[in-house]
Amino acid sequence: MEKIALVTGASRGIGKATALALARDGWTVHVNYIRSREAAEAVAAQTGGMAICADVSDGQAVSAMFEKIGPLDLLVNNAGVAVYGLLTDLDPAVWQRLFDVNVTGMYNCCRCAIPPMVHVKAGHIINLASILGTNGASCEVAYSATKGAVVAFTKALAKELGPSGIRVNCVAPGCIDTDMIANLSPEDKAELADSTSLCRMGTAEDVADAITLLASERARFVTGQVFGVDGGLLI
Ligand code: NAP
């Protein structure tokens, strides 16, 4: 039977790698994006799904996206934004935008995805947290706070939806070499690589493979977990 997934923010980085890895595992994957239309369409051409433009922070746009795609077996809430700087220098609008995308975006997608999953008593939601969601980082207070919210949201929703046969987990990547950390210097990246037990930065594919494992039947008794994918940065 066809298995249908939506990965938000799947035009690049971890979302793109996840959509492609799920497709290799037999999933039909819809590809959400906000700006990168051509890139998203190129991914969707390989995953059998639609490329759909929607700002996940916009509840109406998300509802319209779900009307197009219909019921899902798997939702991966991956779309996210980050900002670097002292908390006291942070523009309140930027603080708000981080919460709108990273937290409200996840809520907007879940509230559309869950009712059909409850109806069939099956389904799975995987959220993108971060090691900063549990440990925090200097100059990333707002981002860390949004990812802490992702962790708490995941655990609470897993308890709420478990009786309906729906699993909810999150992955907590460490430092993954994507556009999101393009602002780091080569020296910063080398230092971060050194601080992992495996002595390297992660790749988008490292995270994608962990997500496909969680999404598979092999993880059928796993819910409410924060699955670290950080090369042993946090041990
Ligand atoms: P990325 O390379 O910057 O890609 C971000 C993706 O999100 C793009 O596809 C972008 O679409 C999409 N996006 C951004 N805002 C959106 C919105 N409002 N609505 C819909 N889509 C939106 O990021 P990444 O490094 O792959 O990160 C993916 C997730 O992993 C994020 O949740 C991030 O917080 C988390 N994470 C990343 C790292 C890391 O080190 N990279 C570590 C821990 C956690 P467009 O291409 O259309 O702009």
Question: What integer pLDDT is reported at residue 148 of this predicted model?
Answer: 98
Q: Which of 60, 63, 62, 43 shows the shortest CA–CA distance to 51?
A: 43
CA pair distance 228, 130, nearest whole angstrom: 8
Q: How far is CA 76 from the centre of its chain?
A: 6
130 lines ligand 1 (CB under 6 A): yes
Cα distance between residue 224 and residue 203, in whole Å: 24
Q: What is the mean pLDDT of the chain?
A: 98
Give 35's Cβ-side CA count (13 Å radius). Answer: 1
Mean pLDDT of the 89-102 span: 98
Question: Which residue's alpha carbon is nearest to atom 34 within ligand 1?
Answer: 80
Using one digit for the tens of pLDDT, what is the confidence trace for 132-158? 999 999 999 999 999 999 999 999 999
Specify whether the CB–CB gap between 81 and 101 falls below 8 A.
yes
| Catalytic residue flag (residue 107) | no
CA distance 202 to 184: 14
pLDDT digits (tens, 9 = 90+) for 37-77: 999 999 999 999 999 999 999 999 999 999 999 999 999 99
In this prediction, residue 1 has a pLDDT band, given cuts at 50, 70 and 90, of confident
Q: pLDDT digit string (tens) for 150-187?
A: 999 999 999 999 999 999 999 999 999 999 999 899 99
Both tokens assigned to 184:
């780091």
pTM: 0.99
Q: Compute, in angstroms, the gap from residue 82 CA to the centroid of ligand 1.
A: 8
| pLDDT value at 29 more than 90 | yes
Residue of the CA atom closest to atom 6 of ligand 1: 9
Euclidean distance between CA atoms 71 and 68, whole angstroms: 10
Is the pLDDT score of 118 beyond 90?
Answer: yes
pLDDT band at 211 (very low <50, low <70, confident <90, very high): very high
Tell me what percent of the residues of the chain surpass a pLDDT of 70: 100
